[in-house]
Amino acid sequence: MSEYHRLEALAQQLLAAARKAGADQADAVALEAAAVSVDVRAGHLEHAERAEGVEIGLRVLVGGRQACVSASDRSARTIEEMAARAVAMAREAPVDDTLGLAEPEQLARDIDSTRLDLYDHDAEPTPEHLQDLALRAEAAALAVEGVSTIESAGASHSQRHMWLAASNGFSAGYGRSGHSLSAVAITGEGLGMERDWAGESRVHATDLPAPEEIGRLAGERTVARRGARKPPTGAFPILYDERVASGLIGHLVAAVNGASVARGASWLRDALGEQVLPRGFDLREDPHRPRYGSSRLFDGEGLATAPRLIVADGVLQGWTLDLATARKLGMDSTANAMRGAGSPPSPGVTNLELTAGDKTRDELIRQMGRGLVVTSMLGASINSTTGDYSRGAGGFWVENGEIAYAVNECTIAGNLRDMLLRLTAACDLPDWRAMRVPSLLVEGMTVAGE
C-alpha cells in the first residue's frame, strides 16, 4: 500500500471514530515524515541523526464547540480513544458560532499536487553523500583567508507525506521533500571573535547551489565582520539587507493576519483600503509556484488556494483569513488556513513577493551617505497594537556612501507604520525564498550604539 493510501485510510478511520463518538463534524490529518541530517567539524563527522514517524490528528466539532487531539500510535484502540477524548473535551469547551467546516461547494476541486513538483523523486541521498556535501562546504569556508575555524557545516534531507480528510467530503493529500546545506564560520579569537553563516534549502537537490559556493559565502561574510564595534547613536537611514529584509515585511504580514485583526491586536486593524507601503509597491502571494516548499493547491480546510495581492500600489487590499476568522470579520476566507496534527486551523501565508526597485544594493548604500546596513537581527520588542519597533542588530556602518566597518551590539528602533511608508527597494530580489523581499532602505530610524 502506498504512503497516500495508508494515510488516507488512517484519516478515514479517525473520521469514522469521531462520528461514532458523537461528533457533529470532524476533520483528520495523517502525516508520515522522515529526515536525515549530518553535521561535520574539523574534517570529521560530528553528528548524524535520522528521525521518522507517523502522526495523526483529529479535530471534532460538537454544537459550536471544538477540540483537537493527536497521537503517534495508529492502533484501532488509540483511534477510538482519541475520538472519545476529543468529543468529551469539545463538550466542555466554550461555544464559538464561527467554528465549522467548509460547505461542500466551497471545497477545492483541483487536488492533484503533482503539477507543483513538490517532491524529489530522485534517489534519497545517503548519509555518506550528505557528509561529503558538508565536508566540501566546510573546506571551502576554511579556504577563505581570515577564517579561523568552522563552527559547523551540515547537510540534511527530509520527506513528508500528508493526508487531510473531513466529514464534509474533502479528502486529498500531497508529498513534499526538502534538501538543505549550511555552514557557520568563525574569525578571530576571544572577545574579538565574530561569526556568520550561509545556507540554502530547496525541494529538489538539483536546485541547490554547490557546497563550495555556500562554504565560500559563509567564509567571506564572516571575514567581513572582523573588527566589529558599536556604531554612533542617533537618527540615521537603515538599509535592511535582503538576508533580513523579509523580517521587516513579516511584521506587516503578521499585522494583517485575520486572527490578530479579529482580536483587535494589530497595529493595522483599521488600515484596510489605506496606504501601508509607498506607491508602486505590491505584496503578492502565489501559493502555486512550482518547486517551492510551501506551495499548495488547497489549504488546511480544503479550500482552493489562488494568487492574491495583499498590498496593491501600496494600498492594503485585505486580511489573511481562514474560515473562522473570516466569519468573525463578516468576510470570506482567503483560503489561507494552516494546520498541524495537534492544532486547529489558523491563518498563514505562502510564497510572498514584494516589488523590487530599480537600484542596486550598492547604489542605495551610496544614496544613504551615512547610516547602517543591517545583515543580522537578534531579539525583538514589537508592540502588536501600536507598531512600536525595537530590535538588536548587526551589520556595517556606512560613511560617505561606502562601508566603513562592521557593527555589532546596537539597537534600532522606530514605528512600523511610519517605517513601511518610507521604504526604497533595491533590485536584488532573492530567489527560492518563501518570502522574496529585496534589500530595503528605511529613512530616519533611531540607532542606539555608543
Residue 276 carries which side chain, given as an amino acid letter? V
pLDDT for the residue 431: 93
Average pLDDT rounded to a whole number, residues 416-426: 97
Name the nearest CA neighbour of 415 among 375, 377, 378, 443. Answer: 443
- Exposure string of 292-320, with b = 16+ CB inside 10 Å and e = fewer, is bbbbbbbbbbbbebeebebbeebbbbbbb
Residue range 362-378, pLDDT digits in tens: 999 999 999 999 999 98
Assess contact for 281 and 355: CB atoms under 8 A. yes
Locate 115 and state its grid cell. Answer: 503539477
Average pLDDT rounded to a whole number, residues 138-156: 97
User: Of all helices (H) and strands (E), which one includes residue 53?
Assistant: strand 44-62
Sign, Cα dihedral of 113, 117, 122, 126 = negative
Residue range 164-188, pLDDT digits in tens: 999 999 999 999 999 999 999 999 8
Question: Between the CA of residue 13 and those of 6, 83, 246, 353, what are the distances in Å?
Answer: 11, 10, 41, 40
pLDDT for the residue 325: 97
Q: DSSP letter string over 415-445?
A: EHHHHHTTEEEBS-PPSS-SEE---EEEEEE
pLDDT for the residue 1: 46
Name the nearest CA neighbour of 254 among 99, 433, 383, 354. Answer: 383
Residue range 231-257, pLDDT digits in tens: 999 999 999 999 999 999 999 999 999
Average pLDDT rounded to a whole number, residues 96-114: 95
Name the nearest CA neighbour of 449 among 370, 384, 382, 383. Answer: 370
What is the average pLDDT value for the chain, to the nearest integer? 96
| 63 vs 167: CA distance, rounded Å | 15
Locate 211 and state its grid cell. Answer: 557546497
| 180 vs 133: CA distance, rounded Å | 10
Average pLDDT rounded to a whole number, residues 29-50: 96
Residue range 302-360, pLDDT digits in tens: 999 999 999 999 999 999 999 999 999 999 999 999 999 999 999 999 999 999 999 99
